[in-house]
Amino acid sequence: MPLDFRTASQLRHHHPAWRLLLADHSPLIASFLDAAFIEPNVRTMPESRLQARLEDHLFQLRESEREEAFPRSATDYLNDWADNHKGWLRKFYPIDSDEAHFDLTPAAEKAIGWLTSLTQRHFVGTESRLKTIFDLLGQILEGVETDAEARIAELERRQSDIQREIDSIRDGHIDVMGETAVRERFQQLTGTARELLSDFREVEHNFRQLDRQAREQITTWEGSKGQLLDHIFGERDAIADSDQGKTFRAFWDFLMSPSRQEELTDGLEQLFRLDEVRELSPDPRLKRIHFDWLEAGEQTQRTVARLSEQLRRFLDDQAYLENKRIMQVIQDIEGHALALRDDPPGGDLMSVESPTADIRLPMERPLFSPPLQPVIDDEVTSGDESAVDPDALFNQVVVDDVRLRHAIDRQLQGRDQVTLAQVIDANPLEVGLAELVAYLSLAGSDERATFDDQTPETIAWQDESGLMRRARLPRVLFTRQRTG
């Protein structure tokens, strides 16, 4: 969309990225946040560690600049940068932690990225980006082509090109990419890999904003539960079904493939062994960039899980209030009964039939009648949700199979094989026996899993009451599959 005067004026006064560029100490803010979060790819940092790093940074600047250049303490600077009017850091308290943590906001990361782009580059690569444009253009045109004959003709053309290249290699003519082309494509690969991490932070920020809006609506909501859930789930589905949500989900499914992870690991190892790449002194952390993607994606998934947890608590609170109202009515009835105990009203209060034996003779029993075939109406009608008790939906024990698969995949990232006991040691059971049975069900359908009946093993966990439970079962071994 075009940037008109009104939009630019609004951004200047309200957008955190523009405020960072206009700040009095913007060089301090940008250089420190880049060194603390973006350069080492740190998602969150405890307050004590970030404060110590800022104190060291301020000490070095005061030595080189002047003592009164930065008069405030590191704590004051961090709290000021995390203020809602600044919006460059997010200060929060993680679950099961009494120490504040800080995270970089997407707006601050955009501003720092733009400042970084202003620095002088060693060379500007244009060939690789031009080839990328042609490749993307070809993918779009091929993806929207509905004519089968046109698609077949394009595939046959590529097949003939590949065959000519094979014949040329067999004749001894091998085209090798030059040093400049290698460096250019490596520079583009590095930039794209780091941009993906920024995308994760922005997607997480969007879901966090949805979580905040849901909490505000829950706090002030006065209507029915069905209307509120309709509204919240509609907004969540809108994000999930947006272009950003769809591409994030497709990227996550692609990255979670063990074969793709192994392919990335092997490819990066080969890339860093090239002489042209070693001359650039690349950051060795780039070899593990896909694991950084996994960590950032898991944090985004945890933000979505917290939204679901907030909705569950809301339903629990509503059920508690309804049960409390029922108890109040029962107590009122009991109070009236006690008040009438010493002075009961006249007349009959109630009538009870005399107890009699229910005698049925054998000959009175009806003959066998074949059961009638029920007629099922498959039309679904919506009724008044106010009379529906949702408690039974939330008293069930639900085991997330996707979370269990991710736990197995993470343990197989750094080793060739792992036992079920080792997976559970690293990821303790949260819902007890049901989760253990789910692990066994996954192993039964997983080609990587084998059962060793000759070698039993014992798995222990702690239930909700604090008692230790143990289960003895055959050893389950998961083996990482290798691509051919």
Q: Answer yes or no: is 382 within a domain.
A: no
What integer pLDDT is reported at residue 50 of this predicted model? 93
Q: How many domains does the chain have?
A: 3
- Among residues 291, 313, 334, which one ends one of the domains? 334
Both 309 and 412 in one domain: the answer is: no
What integer pLDDT is reported at residue 54 of this predicted model? 92
Q: Answer yes or no: is 144 within a domain.
A: no
> How confident is the model over 16-32, as pLDDT tens digits?
888 888 888 888 999 99
Percent of the chain with pLDDT over 90: 4
Both 203 and 110 in one domain: the answer is: no
> How confident is the model over 403-460, as pLDDT tens digits?
888 888 888 887 888 898 888 888 888 888 888 888 888 888 888 888 888 888 888 8
What integer pLDDT is reported at residue 228 of this predicted model? 67
- Among residues 116, 139, 157, which one ends one of the domains? 116
Both 184 and 326 in one domain: the answer is: yes
Closest among 257, 249, 251, 258 to 304, alpha carbons compared = 249
Angle between helices 433-445 and 401-411 (to 10 degrees): 70
Q: Is the pLDDT of residue 395 over 90?
A: no
- Among residues 116, 135, 167, which one ends one of the domains? 116
Q: Answer yes or no: is 289 within a domain.
A: yes
Both 189 and 310 in one domain: the answer is: yes
The range of the structural domain enclosing residue 92 comes to 5-116
| Average confidence (pLDDT) over 118-135 | 63
Which residue's entry shows tokens 């009104």? 6
For CA atoms 309, 311, 314, 318, the dihedral sign is: negative
CATH classification at residue 36: 1.10.10
Both 305 and 443 in one domain: the answer is: no
Q: Answer yes or no: is 157 within a domain.
A: no
Q: Is 427 exposed, middle or buried (0-12, 13-18, 19+ CB in 10 A)?
A: middle
CA 8 to chain centre: 33
> How confident is the model over 325-373, as pLDDT tens digits?
788 888 888 787 777 777 777 766 667 666 677 777 877 777 877 777 7
Both 221 and 101 in one domain: the answer is: no
According to DSSP, the β-strands at 89-92 and 417-419 are unpaired
Both 208 and 98 in one domain: the answer is: no
Q: Answer yes or no: is 327 within a domain.
A: yes
Q: Answer yes or no: is 220 within a domain.
A: yes
**Which has more pLDDT, 131 or 336?**
336
Both 203 and 312 in one domain: the answer is: yes
Window from 47-61, 64-78, 391-405 with minimum mean pLDDT: 391-405
Global pTM reads 0.46
Q: Answer yes or no: is 147 within a domain.
A: no
Both 424 and 299 in one domain: the answer is: no
Distance CA 402, CA 418 (A): 18
